[in-house]
Amino acid sequence: MDLVTPGFGLVFWTGLTFLFLLLILRKFAWKPILGAVSDREDGIKKALASAEDARKEMQNLQADNERILKEARAEREGMLKEAREIKNKMIDDAKEEAKEEASKIVAQAQASIETEKKAAIAELKSQVANLSIEIAEKVVRDELSNKDKQVKLVESMLGEATLN
Amino acid sequence: MRLSTFKTIVFSVLFLVNSSIVSASEKKEGDNDKKFDPKEMIMHHVKDAHEFHLWDWNGKSVSIPLPIILWTDNGLTTFMSSAFHHDDSGKEVVEKDGTKFVKFHEKIYQLNDGENAAVFDEKHNLINASKPLDFSITRNVFMMWVSVIVLLLIFFSAARSYKKSENNVPSGIGSFVEPLVVFVRDEIARPMIGEHKYKRYMPYLLTIFFFIWINNIFGLIPVLNGANLSGNIAFTLTLALFTFIITTVSGNKNYWKHIFWMPGVPIPMKIFLMPIEIIGMFTKPISLMIRLFANITAGHIIILALMSLIFIFKSVAIAPVSVAFSLFITVIEIVVTAIQAYIFTILSALYFGMATEEAHH
């Protein structure tokens, strides 16, 4: 029975000691320890969150890079295409110009040929006239005696000399 | 390392029991043909004492005298327990401030005026003395203060190790203490009380957990004469009282409603439940008190009883069996030290959680 009868003295000292221990430990042990633990946990949480943010940013950056790369590629393609077009156009233009020039040259040539021809024809005509005069001189010299024959000759000669 | 600790414990138990048996056998010679009384020996070890007995040397008991503080009708009286010269039978009379005291079965009695010696009746009851209020620093109080000093040393240096580090990472004893503190927080306080209110109760829960645990462990160390503080009902009563007071003070409207007018049941049931719930208010801390007291005391009694077998059978042959069994029980007791501290703390937290739970019907 003595074993289960609480002694008053021990109750008193236990109460006093426990209160003392509780107050001292609360101020000097539990507060700093729990504070440090929760601070550290917050720190870890924050670090994890910022790592997650960084990862997301990285992803964004990567996506951006991809996009920029794609754009650049498209731009290059466009530029190449444009260049090709310009090249083709230049070639075409050059061809056109050359053709025009050629036809111009040909036309000029034709024109000059025409004038040459005309000049030649004119010269020919004058030569023919000269020739006819010479012939006429010869015929006149030859046939001056025979009047009829003279006329006949002139006519026949003129008839032969057809102008082409 | 651990094995050697166990060995130390076991051999110390043996040594201790042996020493107490020596004193018991001496008593036997003095008190005629009294046999070895295991009950007396065990009770002597389990109960509190006014001096810190270490060992017997050449038939003399070596012990640390502790102060005896008494509140008598004439006021406060103090003297050292060595004044009784290790007498526990009421023979040695100490006179102090005009009052005479005797010690009988570890209780201090004040002799009535005019009496010079203790007088007993046939049933060994003191008839001419009264019991003054005893505030003595007994063996248990002494060990309690030793445990407080140890706790303060452990946790102050743990707290310091946090302050020293720049990123709140503990070192040394702090890294040993932190998992335990986090365990109390995450496995006891948070699930039992709830995320929003647990912080208020953390200092109490941590203090009570480590206070009970370290005193359970100290009770198992035989060199300290196995001061059975956490197996003393006065100690468990006080701690249970703290839990009861905190529960009652922090009880909210919902808690009292559940006790006096249980919601959600018909009125006859409400009336029927009210006395049960009121009794339940008190049985909860009482169960805390008895559980810790009984578990720790039982462990001590079993170990001592197994050791007593050697002396009951008066045979060395039984010693290996006794040692093997008490080794087994000691190992279990080491586990029990932590389990009982854990149970006391988790149940306290549970009661706080019940007291502060919000209605969600």
Reported ipTM: the value is 0.84
pLDDT in tens, chain B (361 residues): 455 555 555 555 555 444 444 344 444 344 444 577 888 888 888 888 888 877 777 777 788 888 888 888 778 888 888 888 877 777 888 887 778 888 888 888 888 877 777 778 777 777 788 888 888 888 889 999 999 999 999 999 999 888 888 777 888 888 899 999 999 999 999 999 988 889 999 999 999 999 999 999 998 887 666 678 898 999 999 999 999 999 999 998 889 988 888 888 889 999 999 999 999 999 999 999 999 999 999 998 998 899 888 888 888 888 898 999 989 999 999 999 999 999 999 999 999 999 998 877 5
Q: For chain A, say whether B58 makes contact (Cβ under 8 Å).
A: no
Single out the residue in B136, B157, B174 at which a domain terminates.
B136
- CA–CA dist A67, B350 (Å, integer): 58
- Give A-chain residues touching B158 at CB under 8 angstroms: 29, 33
Interhelix angle B319-356/B267-313, nearest 10 degrees: 160
Minimal CA separation from A46 to chain B, in Å: 14
Determine the Cα–Cα distance for residues B215 and A99; give it in Å rounded to an integer: 115
Residues found in chain B: 361
* Conformation bin of residue B75: beta by default, left when phi > 0, alpha when psi is -120 to 50: left
Q: Are residues B107 and B187 in the same domain?
A: no
pLDDT at residue A59, as a whole number: 95
Domain assignment of residue B254, yes or no: yes
Chain B's closest residue to A41, CA to CA, is B168
Question: Which chain B residues are Cβ-neighbours of A13 within 8 angstroms?
Answer: 135, 137, 141, 144
Q: Give domain status of residue B285, yes or no.
A: yes
Mark yes or no for CB contact B238/A14 under 8 Å. Answer: yes
Tally of domains in chain A:
1
> Under DSSP, is residue B124 helix (H, G, I), strand (E, B) or coil?
coil
pTM for this predicted structure: 0.75
pLDDT score at B119: 79
| Pair B201, B332 in one domain | yes
- For residues B276 and B348, membership in a common domain is answered with yes
Considering the domain architecture, whether residues B209 and B151 belong to the same structural domain is answered as yes
Residue A128 CA, chain-centre distance (Å), reads 68
Chain A contacts of B213, Cβ < 8 Å?
none
Q: Domain limits at B314?
A: 140-356
Residues in chain A: 164
Residue A16's closest chain B neighbor by CA? B238
Inter-chain contact B181–A37, Cβ cutoff 8 Å?
yes
Chain B residue with Cα closest to A37: B168
